[in-house]
């Protein structure tokens, strides 16, 4: 499966057009990306739950063009194992209860379909999985493990006792809110998923959170070398890029389009 003339961000910061980039073969993930000490799969310097919650609360409190609701956030490691689940309200029911699993599903998706050399956000997948799209059927793969998703006590949800932690939740989500996490060494260390607002606001909030956590050294993507949301779906439903996402509000579209400038990938500006 390929897409012609995708703009790729080089490590030097420039851009080149790469004809027919294969989404199945971009980059390479050696065992060093997955394995920790003594050959055990382990997180590689991922944020703590406290760090994630702080960044999520801050981002949610800003103008994001959405509904201004409380949010769920989940981080998975490169092996797809949930490492942290948080919420921004005062209790697990101060944000959409269903968004807890969706945030984990988004994190799983962004991790599962990004590579060391190429990032795909969940927002990038919407048009690609529609009938006739280059990834049609992807949304039916890798289902959520329901026994894990609905296990445990609700008072533990979003805490360090969340029953999702330490497990692979699975699931594929094809709207905004899931982003791969890349450290300053260019390593793909896992992914972030957020949910609780419109899908466009979810993407914006996830982008801001990833920026705040310093894990946004994105090497390449389908939108001018990044994994930003693309709003190019025409009235007939077609997406010229093949990776378009529906618009939500004009405000969220404007904010999203400006993200590469307001919250650029790579080193945080002083």
Phi/psi for 123 (5° steps) reads: -65, -30
What whole-number percentage of the chain has pLDDT above 90? 74
| Alpha-carbon gap, residue 59 to 55, rounded angstroms | 6
| Lowest model confidence (mean pLDDT) among 7-11, 127-131, 206-210, 244-248 | 7-11
Does 45 have pLDDT greater than 90?
no
The CATH class that applies to domain 47-262 reads alpha beta
3-state secondary structure of 251: helix
Q: What pLDDT shows up at residue 24?
A: 40
Task: Reply yes or no on whether the pLDDT at 4 is more than 70.
Answer: no
């Amino acid at each position: 499966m390929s897409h012609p003339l995708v703009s790729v961000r080089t490590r030097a910061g420039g851009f080149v057009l790469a004809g027919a980039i294969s989404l199945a073969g971009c980059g390479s993930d050696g065992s060093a990306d997955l394995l920790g000490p003594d050959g055990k799969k382990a997180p590689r310097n991922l944020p703590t739950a406290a760090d994630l919650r702080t960044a999520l609360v801050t981002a949610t409190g800003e103008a994001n063009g959405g509904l201004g609701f409380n949010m769920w956030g989940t981080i998975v490691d490169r092996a797809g194992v949930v490492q942290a689940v948080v919420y921004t309200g005062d209790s697990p029911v101060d944000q959409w209860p269903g968004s807890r699993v969706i945030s984990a599903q988004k994190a799983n998706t962004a991790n599962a379909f990004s590579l060391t050399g190429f990032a795909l956000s969940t927002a990038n997948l919407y048009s690609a999985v529609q009938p006739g799209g280059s990834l049609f059927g992807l949304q039916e793969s890798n289902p959520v493990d329901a026994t894990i998703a609905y296990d445990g006590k609700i008072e533990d949800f979003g805490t360090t006792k969340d029953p999702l932690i330490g497990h692979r939740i699975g699931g594929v989500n094809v709207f905004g809110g899931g982003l791969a996490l890349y450290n300053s060494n260019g390593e793909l260390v896992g992914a972030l998923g957020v949910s609780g607002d419109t899908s466009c606001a979810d993407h914006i909030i996830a982008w801001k959170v990833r920026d705040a956590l310093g894990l946004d050294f994105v090497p390449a993507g389908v939108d001018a070398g990044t994994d930003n949301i693309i709003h190019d779906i025409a009235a007939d439903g077609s997406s010229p890029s093949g990776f378009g996402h529906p618009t939500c509000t004009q405000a969220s579209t404007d904010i999203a389009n400006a993200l590469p400038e307001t919250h650029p990938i790579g080193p945080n500006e002083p």
